[in-house]
Amino acid sequence: MNHEREHYVNGAWVAPLEPKLLDVVDPSTEEAFAQIAVGGPKDVDRAVAAARAAFPSFSQTSRKDRLDLLRAILAEYTKRRDDIAAALSQEMGAPLKFALERQAATGTAHLTRMIQVLETYPFEEVQGTTLIAREPIGVVGLITPWNWPINQIVCKVAPGIAAGCTMVLKPSEVAPLNAIIWTEVMHAAGVPAGVYNMVQGEGGVVGNAMSSHPDIDMMSFTGSTRAGILVAQAAAVTVKRVAQELGGKSANILLPDVDFKTAVTKGVLGMMGNSGQSCNAPTRMFVPADRHEEVKAIAKAAAERVVVGPVGDAGTTMGPVVSEVQFNKIQRLIEAGIKEGAELVTGGPGRPENLNRGYFVRPTVFANVRNDMTIAREEIFGPVLAILPYRDEAHAIEMANDTVYGLAAYVQSADVASARRVSAQMRAGNVFMNYPVGDTAAPFGGYKQSGNGREYGKWALDDFTEIKAVIGYEAA
């Protein structure tokens, strides 16, 4: 990888038109270990022009052509998966095992799924005498985050390719090196010039230039709700489609009949995976008020099992959070929980005692949390769990839905009918019953301020296509 100070445009690595460099910081050491090129509007214009020029040809390629291309991308990705995991571990602080088995593995999963979807996807169907056709929407702008970087890159690029779109990617400037390796994968796979382009840069500059660009037909954005609003506002001027996967404050409702030791432990450890930096993490745990003391003890024991430390150590299960900005935000919110009267069960402010540098956060559990407290309202994006007691099922559902977010919800019950009944009342795009295995074919996205549109599988392909009706296509 020797392309940190370049963008990728029209099938080649190119020097920036507006030269500027930005440090990439290792969150374990707080030290810069690389520099990337940071683009500007002229770099975006060049990349969009390449994508626009490539669109007429690529949009007319056959299903077989695009399947062959996706299979070639998957083959090249498999060769570089270890490299991607190593980059992710250093730039975002994921333990190496987690980076390989969870983070980098998502790229394989999404490519494999998209190949399966494309094999049978109904681009055309006749209804009566009318042809309903799904066609590539055009040039798409892709903005991806730092918390699950390669996951979000692949689950946007793969359906874009499958649909016949051309694209410009702006990866996170906080965790950008995995995107450079991904771009090397695309080049090695033989993606035609101009179909895939990448411009490194900051959201306020490159992201804004993409969102407002008249020659981009769609923006697909994953990130904070605040930034998503700015993307949508900039995109509105040109009336382009905007698909957004934004923030979350997901509820985890434990019904009275569940095995509490198992359900609480899985909830705590699942929420603290990826250092709590997952938009769909089950950060609010709702438990029966008469089981609250029992739950506190189980949650404390589970959180204290988390091993925080250097990402290369075999025993580490949680690394640092990604940046100083995130570390400071999490510390502020932990302090707010204490100040507002939540009961600190374990963890708290500062680093773990054995670590004197790096953006390491103590696995933290609060109990006796009210739903109007800051730690129950704001997305913390760190390893901080809030336990909220409820009176009865109706009270739990009411509190769970009392949030501006609606990305995910979790329901635990020994009785499937009860879990289904509560799941049906959750105002969220995904509901996970009894900690199931993930499903890359299921639509991923949220209600309310968690965004709009859906990713993964056929649902992503739907988002990257436009619908055309040809009336009178068949003789009456």
Count H helices, E strands: the chain? Answer: 15, 22
List residues with catalytic annotation.
245, 279
Residue 188 amino acid letter: A
DSSP string, 90-155: HHH---HHHIIIIIIHHHHHHHHHHHHHHHH--SEEEETTEEEEEEE--EEEEE--SSSHHHHHHH
* CA–CA distance, 35 with 164 (Å, rounded to integer): 33
The residue written with tokens 């029966």 in the block is 288
CA proximity to 103, closest of 154, 148, 153 = 148
Residue 90 amino acid letter: Q
Name the helix (H) or strand (E) containing 364. strand 364-367
Tokens of 70: 């996706």
| 278 CB burial (10 A radius; 0-12, 13-18, 19+) | buried
What are the φ/ψ torsions at residue 38 (nearest 5 degrees)?
-115, 115
Residue 10's CB is within 10 A of a number of other CB atoms, namely 18
| Integer CA distances (angstroms), 405 to 225, 258, 382, 435, 439, in order | 9, 26, 17, 20, 22
| Integer CA distances (angstroms), 267 to 263, 274, 280, 434, 458, in order | 6, 14, 12, 10, 29
Strands 12-14 and 7-9: antiparallel
